Amino acid sequence: MASPITTAEFQSFFDRDFEFGTTITSIRDKDILRAISDALTMYNPDLWGDIITAKQAFYYLVAHHLSCNINAAGGVGNTGQGANAGSDFVMSSKSAGPLSASYSIPQSILENPVLQGLLKTRYGQKYLDMIIPYLIGATGVAWHDTRP
């Protein structure tokens, strides 16, 4: 399958998130191409209703893989502002005394190793936010007669 985005489009979309360049201490085109290749292994363009949403989802999936790849290699430059910080999940408790917070991750995500892997970065979490409604669909019964 061909990539729905180019490296130039990725750089334009994330112009404030990553430090792009040609040195080993920056995010290079070859790093983006590798992340695109990784993202294509788990991307289904048929899930999305339109090309704009499909491309936006793919941007976040590529950014997730890029952040994971760079961090696995020991990190270089800026791998995304807050890419691995905090959580965007539902807060289940909080306190004010010695400061405490607790977030709840749905059990369906925790039980799925592919979806669970997306929790590693904010970009993966954004992709997960976008894809969950497409994975949990409405079901119903269709009535149909058969003829002998």
- Specify if 97 maps to a domain: no
Residue 112 inside a domain? The answer is: no
pLDDT at 91 over 50: no
Residue 89 lies in a domain: no
Cα 46 versus chain centre, distance? 17
Q: Which residue has the tokens 């909080």?
A: 94
Q: In the predicted model, what is the mean pLDDT of the chain? A: 81
Note whether residue 103 is domain-resident. Answer: no
Encode pLDDT of 62-79 as tens digits.
999 999 999 988 866 555
Of residues 85 and 143, more confidence is placed in: 143
The beta-strand segments (E) located in the chain are 90-95, 100-104
Structural domain range at position 32: 7-84+121-135
Number of continuous H segments (helices) and E segments (strands) in the chain: 6, 2
Question: How distant is the alpha carbon of residue 14 from its chain centre?
Answer: 13
Contacts (Cβ under 8 Å, ≥6 apart) of 29: 7
